[in-house]
């Protein structure tokens, strides 16, 4: 659709294969959103706070957050985001391989906006990314948009 809004998406993911699949899913679905990628929780918070090398980073409209990250895990990132006035309103979709009930419960208790288990099948993964994109771009009204 020609008048589709373009949003900034931050992918916090340390697995290069999952980063590649997400990029390919965006391209396959003709998603025009701008995708930024960081590989660990510390870098995610630096990006969100516009610190260091991320001083010129766009403020994301949506964060796709893996839970199992080096240096600082996704749960800690989520907790930091939702306890910081400047980041609290940014929607966070936990996109992880974990199907553990305690991860689902903890993510929602930390105010994640959605919890999605990554499909291992590439076609299904593409479909999931498309659905997330459609929901947050076409259905939901994001702050400031």
Q: How far apart are CA 38 and CA 76, in angstroms?
A: 15
Looking at the DSSP bridge assignments, the partners of residue 37 are 11
Instruction: Return per-residue pLDDT of the chain as tens, 145 residues.
Output: 445 577 899 999 999 998 998 888 888 776 678 899 999 999 999 999 999 999 999 999 999 999 999 999 999 999 999 999 999 999 999 999 989 999 999 999 999 999 999 988 888 988 898 888 888 877 877 666 5
Q: CA dist 130 to 27, 39, 77, Å?
A: 10, 22, 24
How much is the pLDDT for 4? 59
Q: CA dist 124 to 28, 127, 131, Å?
A: 12, 5, 10
Whether pTM > 0.85 for this model: the answer is yes
Domains annotated for the chain, with CATH where assigned, are: 8-136 (3.40.50.2300)
- Measured N-to-C along each axis, helices 122-134 and 16-28 cross at an angle, to the nearest 10 degrees, of 60
How much is the pLDDT for 5? 72
């Amino acid at each position: 659709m020609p008048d589709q809004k373009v949003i900034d998406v931050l992918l916090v993911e340390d697995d290069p294969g999952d980063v590649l699949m997400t990029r390919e899913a965006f391209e396959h679905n003709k998603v025009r959103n701008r995708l930024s990628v960081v590989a660990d929780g510390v870098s995610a918070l630096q990006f969100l706070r516009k610190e260091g090398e991320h001083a010129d980073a766009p403020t994301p409209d949506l964060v796709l957050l893996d839970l199992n990250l080096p240096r600082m895990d996704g749960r800690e990132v989520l907790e930091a985001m939702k306890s910081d006035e400047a980041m609290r309103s940014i929607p966070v979709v936990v996109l992880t391989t974990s199907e553990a009930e305690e991860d689902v419960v903890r993510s929602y208790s930390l105010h994640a906006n959605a919890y999605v288990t990554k499909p291992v099948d590439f076609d299904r993964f593409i479909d999931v990314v498309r659905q997330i994109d459609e929901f947050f771009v076409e259905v939901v009204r994001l702050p400031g948009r």
